[in-house]
Amino acid sequence: MSSTINQGILLDDTMLSYDFGNGHVMNAERLLAAYHLLEKIYITNEEAEFQLITPEDYDRKYLFKAHTRNYIEKFEALSQQGKGQALEFGLGTPDCPIWQGMANISNFVVKSTVTLAKQIYNGKLNIGFGLLGGLHHATAAEASGFCYYNDINVAVQRLKALNPDIRILYVDTDLHHGDGVQSTFYQDPNILTISFHESGKFLFPGSGFPLEIGEKDGEGYSVNLPFYPYTWDEEYQHGFDQVFPILFEQYQPDFVIWQAGGDAHIKDPLGHLMLTSHTYRHIGAQIRDQVLKHMQVPKVLMLGGGGYNPYSNAKSWSNALSGLTGVTLPDRGPESWIIQCKSSGIEVNPSLQDTQSTPIKEDVDQITTGNAEYLAQLKSHLTPYFSL
Ligand SMILES: [Zn+2]
């Protein structure tokens, strides 16, 4: 992007405490390799022209707009005890276990995302990336899928307080459906949620089908394109490109939030999509194209979301951010990064690019037919609202 674009990343050691411990996939290690790589490429490399953003305190009334008082109070009490259960709030399950300090670190995530949202809204930044943000499954009174506080929903509430008429485009390319954001704003035409994910027929949280289009005033403003397991780079990009640019152009957002989950990568242990660094870069570049074409002042908040393989996360997020900002990535990760990863016990391959994924032969027809059906359904459900 041009030099008039202000870019920043929020990196802070505190985020490494979002760690469920005991061999859980949601641990500090998942962020470490990415943390070091992003620091080397974007912060200590002056040519990249990125600012390091530090989280600022925010008014907790916005947390109370996104979550119920009962939920927050119960969550904080359990966090202090470090044990217990409140299943009516989704607290104390294998996905959302109870551990000491979980409320503080969850609040830190919210603080980080709200800081970025505010700085982007005020024009201090045009593009901001929060590595530990995008906890998209939590709802007002329920923890879900490793997420206790939904930092995205709090940031949206903060933005709405700054401008009640703001039009927000939320694009979610995590492996999983962005259910907690979609359901919260299901009746709201001022936030267009578009989620691309592995089909809920095969994966948590089991939702995110094309017929989920919003309701009442929000009808037509929830968009879902699921993909069959083992969808590869080109096939995914085809679906994305058929939907995203057209909706962006027709919606004309004032603010963009991108949840760029690293778990749709082929090497991720949780899902079955086969995306590589190429698709992460492609999505970033597509968002950049639309932003530069249609927004007078670029305002894009990118959040890391899921991703449970330390090495593929480092590649996915670096490539995604490179696509979004136009900063060129080296072919190989810096030596100091490799040394740092090895000292943390993380195996890395120096190359920052993957080989593009190709279809697994016996499944090709089933996948392309299934994906084409989903795309056709999406188009037919959205035709009254958008010209697709
Ligand atoms: Zn996910």
Tens digits of residue pLDDT in 155-195: 999 999 999 999 999 999 999 999 999 999 999 999 999 99
Is residue 181 within 8 A of residue 140, CB to CB? The reply is no
Please list, in sequence order, all residues whose beta carbon lies within 8 angstroms of the beta carbon of residue 372, skipping any fewer than 6 positions away. none
DSSP-derived pairing of the beta strands 168-172 and 255-259: parallel
pLDDT at 58 over 50: yes
43, HSE (Cβ side, Cα atoms, 13 Å):
18
- Enclosing H/E stretch for 179: helix 179-184
CA 38–ligand 1 middle distance (angstroms): 20
For residue 272, indicate whether it is catalytic.
Answer: no
CA 306–ligand 1 middle distance (angstroms): 4
Tens digits of residue pLDDT in 96-154: 999 999 999 999 999 999 999 999 999 999 999 999 999 999 999 999 999 999 999 99
Q: Across-strand partners of 337? A: none
Task: Report how far residue 217's alpha carbon sits from residue 234's, in angstroms, rounded to the nearest whole number.
Answer: 35
Task: Report how far residue 378's alpha carbon sits from residue 211's, in angstroms, rounded to the nearest whole number.
Answer: 7
pLDDT confidence of 5, banded at 50, 70, 90?
Answer: very high
CA 261–ligand 1 middle distance (angstroms): 6
> How far is CA 350 from each of CA 278, 323, 335, rounded to the nearest angstrom?
16, 20, 8
pLDDT confidence of 347, banded at 50, 70, 90?
Answer: confident
Tens digits of residue pLDDT in 187-201: 999 999 999 999 999
Q: Which domains does the chain have, with CATH numbers?
A: 7-382 (3.40.800.20)
Q: Which among 36, 137, 176, 197 is annotated as catalytic?
A: 137
CA 300–ligand 1 middle distance (angstroms): 20
CA 384–ligand 1 middle distance (angstroms): 30
pLDDT at 1 over 60: no
Sign of the CA dihedral 162, 118, 129, 76? Answer: negative
